[in-house]
Amino acid sequence: MSAEIISINVSDKKGMRKKAVESAVLRDNYGIENDAHASDTWHRQVSLLAIESVDKMRAKGLKVGPGDFAENITTKGIVLMTLPIGTKMIIGEDIEVEVTQIGKLCHNRCAIYEQAGDCVMPREGIFVKVLKGGTIKKGDGIRVIQ
């Protein structure tokens, strides 16, 4: 199975569940246009989480889906948390991103944690910076190049 984008998600404020959009523009060294986490001043420009991780939370009885863990891109078919920092990926035809962080420290408990007593994003989500931007859409392929 090849890896692909199954959802693209944005929000205008940090700390919120994100809403799905059909496509998004990734800007070089910035992130996704119109998303609260985009910035040229830090390394967590875009977040990714696998639907397989979301499914783990569904198995615990939560009614959650893509974007509910505040991830920008929900993927399928790639084990994100096994990619080392520095790994480069191509999304779609030629958008290039680089893994900058695996997981994150949760300083306060989010709404998902409060509901389920657990959250997968701190352990299984990854963050990337945009090396070469462009427009992404649902169904775009994702491939590791180094």
Write out pLDDT tens, residues 16-57: 788 999 999 999 999 999 999 899 888 899 999 999 999 988
The CATH class for the domain spanning 3-144 reads mainly beta
What are 33's two structure tokens? 């246009």
Residue entry with tokens 């491939």: 143
pTM: 0.90
Q: CA–CA distance from 24 to each of 53, 91, 144 (Å)?
A: 23, 12, 20
Q: What is the pLDDT of residues 94-122, one digit of tens each?
A: 999 999 998 865 656 555 555 555 667 76
d(CA 126, CA 121): 8
Residue ranges of domains in the chain? 3-144
